[in-house]
Amino acid sequence: MTQAILSKSLYESDFLLWTQDTVAKLKAKDFDHVDLENLIEEIESLGKSEKKEIKSRLTTLLEHLIKRIYVDMPQEFNGWERTIRNQRTEIEFLLDDSPSLQALWNDTFDIAFRAALRDVRKEYSQKGYQFPDVWQFGRDINTMLNVDFWE
């Protein structure tokens, strides 16, 4: 019991040291002294973080795709295209590291598209630009990561 209290205290006071201590205990197979409660919480948090990151990156990708496709501002094209390339690369990295995120793609896409559309409309509707209510192109992973829809 004392060890669990010390581990929790370490978790709260020095997270890096707690991770190092936890890894050392796991490697030594000293499972009786591992702070399981906080370890479980951290592992759950990692999964949530991955889901949040793919949603965030897909939202940014969609925002810039919408702008590049529908907003006629050639002076901005290069910046939007750079962001599109960067987000596509980061999404590829995420999917490579966690292929199971692919199973969430369709649900994530719908949420990300609504958020991206809301933000782009807020930014450009007063300037007379109109945006469709639905994504009018392919939405599968391969298409989203490789097709330049504006060409």
Taking the C-alpha atoms of residue 72 and residue 68, their distance in angstroms, rounded to an integer, is 8
Residue 138 in domain: yes
Using a cut of 0.75, tell me whether the model's pTM lies above it: yes
Closest among 86, 82, 80 to 63, alpha carbons compared? 80
User: What integer pLDDT is reported at residue 9 of this predicted model?
Assistant: 73
Residue 84 in domain: yes
Q: Number of C-alpha atoms within 13 angstroms, CB side, residue 143? A: 11
Residue 35 in domain: no
User: What integer pLDDT is reported at residue 5 of this predicted model?
Assistant: 52
Residue 15 in domain: no
Residue 14 in domain: no
Closest among 56, 54, 6 to 34, alpha carbons compared? 6
Number of domains, the chain: 1
Expressed as residue numbers, the domain containing 106 is: 52-146
Instruction: Give the pLDDT means over successive 10-residue stretches in the chain (151 positions).
Output: 56 89 94 92 86 96 98 97 98 95 94 98 93 96 97 91
